[in-house]
Structure 1
Amino acid sequence: MPFSSLGLSKPLVKAVAAQSYTKPYPIQQEAIPAILQGRDILGIAQTGSGKTASFVLPILELFQRKPAARNRFVKALVLVPTRELAVQVADVFQVFSAKLPRPVKTLAVYGGVSINPQMMGLRDVEIVVATPGRLLDLMSANALQLSDVDILVLDEADKMLDLGFEEEMERIFDRLPRNRQTILFSATLGDAIQDINASLLRNPVKIEVVEEEQNLDLIKQIAYRVDAERKGPLLRYLIKSGQMKQVLVFVSSTRSADNVVVKLTKNGIQAAAIHSGRTQGARTDALTKFKAGKLAVLVATDLISRGIDIQLLPHVINFELPRSPKDYIHRIGRTGRAEAEGEAISLICPEDEHHFKIIQKKMGKRVEIIETAELDLMGY
């Protein structure tokens, strides 16, 4: 089933194709048409199931049919539990809306940073992706209004409840108009989620995605323990000493991607970054060269990597660990395909070790960690 059969307009289908998305995930097949019909959604889905695009695409489609919002009166609100997810979701909105006939401005707002730039950035914003606490701060400062919100999305609602945001969420719900569309996604369907369902959703379409188990038997997994300041030289050492001709390197942010590429290039390794900050032409060019074997290293963020599908990719390196075990499995699953063996390497700093233990436990596989303190990285 192609994206064009889900009710999306040609410009949006074209935007999807530009990101190398070939066919919708199961959750997208069910959620996109239902959201376009104005239905409330109760979705049970893990990270990595394609749920972000399943609400981003229809929201952007619906906004193509609506007049622009009044200044500081947002039309869509996406609540998320963490800063990292806020940035990631906003990136998805920005990637898919970049060349639509009617531009739609999106902003991520979250705590831990100065509120003033976010207050100034809210001008003409129609979609806000927010953590609950920072959203309440902005509301208290009259920096934005929720009275015109047409669509509310609760992404990873169970995590918001686990992190103690229940009171903040209730205060936000009280400020929202009753006549709206509500979309709720959660990894689990516990009592608290059932309560939210009963109080907020109107006859929702229930979508539950059962994840297929990733076969990791063909993937050789190795980890290297390394201090943060030696991580860059170790990456270059592994690529050069292993004579890697095609390696996909994963990082957690666009800034990291650009920094890694600069250092690789300075050390004579052909590399390019692929992330939402690059132009579509630059991303397409880098991916084409990488697939053709004309580029040794492609450095990617998780968002853009969804569109990378190479049957015989020999090496994946986690320069930085992902935030969830599911993302880790999706990353290393880029290699070891089509019955061909692959190698997945992770660089583990001391502060990563606890998280890496959780990843191994969730994955059900133990990964050998090799010490690198005595390794001579001079010249790399």
Structure 2
Amino acid sequence: MISRIIRHDNDIVIKNIRNNILVQLRFASSRYSSKIKVNNSHKLKSKNAPRPNKDADHSSSSKRPDTKKNYIFETGKFSQLYNSLKSTNTQDPSFQISKVKDFNQLKIFPSVREAMIKEIKSQYNLKGPQHSSIDEIEIKPTPIQIAAIKKINQTRSISPTTKNLEDMEESERILYELKNENESKRTKIFTISSETGSGKTWSYLSVLLSKLKEDDLNWFNQKPEKYELFKKSQQIRSIIMVPTHELVEQVYETLKRANKFSLKHEGVSKKYEQFFNLPENETLGLSIMKLSHGDAPISLYKQLKNYGKIDILVTTPAKITSLSKLEAVDRPFKIFKSVKYCILDESDTLFDVSFIKDTTSVIKNFPNLLDLILISATIPKEFEKSLQKLFPDEKSIIRISTPNLHKIPKNIKIFTLDSDLSPYNGSKLRCLAQSIYAISKDGTEPDQTKRIIIFVNSKDEVDDLVSGLIDKYHINEEDIFGISSSKTIGDRKEILEPFLKPAEPLTSANQSKLKILITTDLLSRGLNFVGLKNVILFGLPRNSVDLVHRLGRTGRMNQSGRVFIIIDKKSKKSWVKGLGSAIIRGLKIG
């Protein structure tokens, strides 16, 4: 049990340290906010600790944060984020976002809207007495979802004409038709960028699914017989590419959940009536496939041959390039000629030096691509350089971003723990162990398994830290896990499962009340740790990009979160002192 931590330290010292951490955690909670003025960055220390020096972070100080600290996030090697982007430079930056309060106000295919809301609710952490059931929860679109849906789901513009086509001269009519045909077929490039945990997955899935279902409806309206042939055609209609197999699984599982819900189609217009009466439209009725670790590339061709079209393929660029090695398949990439929509999630990673060759070589095999949508929670400087090199005409990219890009959500509380202070006396491991104990006893998340993610900087540290907490501080082996690139993908998938779904309710006294995951930046991007409240940085991130992504594993979708930063004399970086005030003041992290 975690309580056995105290066996390896002086009981009096541990009691002091435990009480101080618990007090600091309680002070940061909302129920004390009206009584105590608390800064967003806290230094947790013992009552017997030496007086902090002039550079210490005073949690109760009423002084205005030093404006010079702002530059810490804008300059130097730590600063790796491109911060010159304006929010949504396509039209009015606000897109009248504040006026949209409901998904019904957005252009989303009716069955997609219903399935999306059901899926989002299914992953919601039901808390407190305010909701007796999931059905009572009111789901509202986030700013990035509103902006993305409004912009990408716009009907492709057709040049207006005041003349009847029959009255035009032949040359005039040909030019008019060619112009409109080119507009309807040209590839549009979109970037969707917003802060971590802001709902980006459904910002692009709602768009993609709507386009696919709208295409289905158009085929059905042409002629039912043509629609039946279309369903049996051997083609891949859209592809979602991500950098890791963990993200393949996450996106695929989200689509699977949305695809299985029974739909009522209530209150839709008559133009959908006959289409929704088809048996396959009792659900979304889409064919979804993943090509990930352990999936044989040849299975893609077998799926097309045996079952017809694949509506959505979720995979990695490396998996697609591996198709070239299939000797049994003639022209292996010809199956992608029908791809109309391509999503690159975590696109800043897919365009970095380790991925860009595979990513671009795959996209070249989509000759009929209509929409290329790049998704990212950060715009690193190197990514922006790649975009400018690949698309030198700035007008060729339709940028969609929110004003909070590169900002840390204010619902995340930052705690700084200095392991050099007494009674830690330079032991980061002891400081970490006591932090875990304090978190486990702070009274938050009652009746649920409490989950903690600890980030380190190298894979070699992962196993050592797991062993140290088990051997020296007697944390139960079944409560603590380590994941790095040295773990097999199968093992990683099993370990991640309880962290990627809502917290488990405690149903018995013997059930584990704590789950701890120690990992590297391998798991800091894109993964949605549903409802996770606690992140600990045992190692400081090397740059601002990694900082934003690590902090973004908590405080998602406007929920509360806490980040504990453990420092020592080797890691007292200037940005740590300014992080709390930067969050309070809404500064962008450079």
TM-score normalized by structure 1? Answer: 0.61
Which residue matches 1:120?
Answer: 299
Distance 2:348 2:195 in 1: 11
Which residue matches 1:316?
Answer: 534
**Any stretches of 5+ residues in structure 1 without a counterpart?**
253-259, 265-271, 277-282, 310-314, 367-380
Distance 2:412 2:435 in 1: 27
Distance 1:194 1:214 in 2: 29
Distance 1:358 1:60 in 2: 47
C-alpha spacing 1:80/1:12, structure 2 compared with 1 (3 Å)? closer
1:326 paired with 2:548, answer yes
Distance 2:434 2:289 in 1: 34
C-alpha spacing 1:73/1:318, structure 2 compared with 1 (3 Å)? farther
**What secondary structure does 2:313 align onto?**
strand
C-alpha spacing 1:243/1:182, structure 2 compared with 1 (3 Å)? closer
CA-to-aligned-CA distance 1:72-97 (integer Å, 9 cap, x gap): 62211123333343333333333333
Report how far residue 296 of structure 1 moved.
Answer: 5.7
Which residue matches 2:115?
Answer: 11
The answer to whether the 8 A contact 1:214-1:329 is kept is: no
1:190 paired with 2:384, answer yes
Letter in 2 for 1:325: L
Letter in 1 for 2:117: V
**What secondary structure does 2:235 align onto?**
coil
The answer to whether the 8 A contact 1:158-1:193 is kept is: no
Report how far residue 28 of structure 1 moved.
Answer: 0.8
CA-to-aligned-CA distance 1:28-73 (integer Å, 9 cap, x gap): 1111233333663233445434322211122123333426765762
C-alpha spacing 1:42/1:134, structure 2 compared with 1 (3 Å)? same
C-alpha spacing 1:84/1:127, structure 2 compared with 1 (3 Å)? same
Q: 1:206 aligns with which of 399, 410, 414?
A: 399
The answer to whether the 8 A contact 1:221-1:343 is kept is: no
Which residue matches 2:285?
Answer: 103
Which residue matches 1:85?
Answer: 247
C-alpha spacing 1:97/1:298, structure 2 compared with 1 (3 Å)? farther
**Any stretches of 5+ residues in structure 2 without a counterpart?**
1-100, 125-137, 157-187, 217-226, 263-282, 420-426, 455-474, 480-496, 518-522, 581-590
The answer to whether the 8 A contact 1:251-1:320 is kept is: no
**What secondary structure does 1:182 align onto?**
strand
**What secondary structure does 1:175 align onto?**
coil
The answer to whether the 8 A contact 2:239-2:314 is kept is: yes
Distance 1:360 1:79 in 2: 37
The answer to whether the 8 A contact 2:252-2:314 is kept is: yes
CA-to-aligned-CA distance 1:262-314 (integer Å, 9 cap, x gap): 946xxxxxxx94745xxxxxx69x57x89xxxx966899985555x49xxxxx
The answer to whether the 8 A contact 1:136-1:172 is kept is: yes
The answer to whether the 8 A contact 1:92-1:303 is kept is: no
Number of residue pairs matched by the alignment: 316
Which residue matches 1:138?
Answer: 323
The answer to whether the 8 A contact 1:43-1:185 is kept is: yes
Report how far residue 319 of structure 1 moved.
Answer: 11
Identity %: 18
Distance 1:320 1:174 in 2: 42
Letter in 2 for 1:120: S
1:220 paired with 2:415, answer yes
Distance 1:108 1:221 in 2: 41
C-alpha spacing 1:305/1:114, structure 2 compared with 1 (3 Å)? closer
Q: With CA pairs under 8 Å and 6+ residues apart, which has the higher RCO, 1 or 2? A: 2
CA-to-aligned-CA distance 1:198-218 (integer Å, 9 cap, x gap): 58x996532122324434785
**What secondary structure does 2:243 align onto?**
coil
C-alpha spacing 1:97/1:183, structure 2 compared with 1 (3 Å)? same
Distance 1:359 1:48 in 2: 26
Structure showing greater radius of gyration is: 2
The answer to whether the 8 A contact 2:412-2:555 is kept is: no
Which residue matches 1:32?
Answer: 149
1:52 paired with 2:224, answer no
**What secondary structure does 1:85 align onto?**
helix
The answer to whether the 8 A contact 1:151-1:182 is kept is: yes
Distance 2:194 2:141 in 1: 15
- Aligned alpha-carbon RMSD (Å): 5.1
1:168 paired with 2:268, answer no
